[in-house]
Amino acid sequence: MEFKNNDARNTYEQLDERLKDVAYEMSVWCKENNLPFVITRCVGPRSKTSVTDIHADKRAFDSSVRGWSIDCCHKFADTFNEKFAKEIGAIAKSTHEPILVVYHNSGEGWHLHNQVRKL
């Protein structure tokens, strides 16, 4: 597991424990698939493109897909959504369904948004 910058590294420990457990499994999956796992954003104020305060609530982190194929991005999201979404994934505002990993471009570039629901 790598971090884009000191801010991401320093705020990682503040994340919800469930999310840190999943992040470890994600890093293992990436290593097994020869992909970099770089956390780019953890805890912080709501950005101008954010829909919710989930990062400020310590329930989400973003990870880079630089060097990944689109197929790998979808495989990663599918793998972790199938494994964890029903149990701990955040409830999507658009579908009202649980989802752990969202592969999207929220205006700041394509990335993986990884999130858990409130306890």
Task: List, run by run, the mean pLDDT of 10-residue segments along the chain (119 residues).
Answer: 96 96 98 97 70 80 96 98 97 93 90 95
Structural domain harbouring 52: 2-115
Structural domain total, the chain = 1
- Report pLDDT for 48: 59
- Report pLDDT for 53: 75
- Report pLDDT for 47: 61
**Residue burial 31-67, b: 16+ Cβ < 10 Å; e: rest:** eeeebebbbbbbbeeeeeebeeebbeebbbbbbbbee
- Report pLDDT for 45: 62
- Report pLDDT for 94: 87
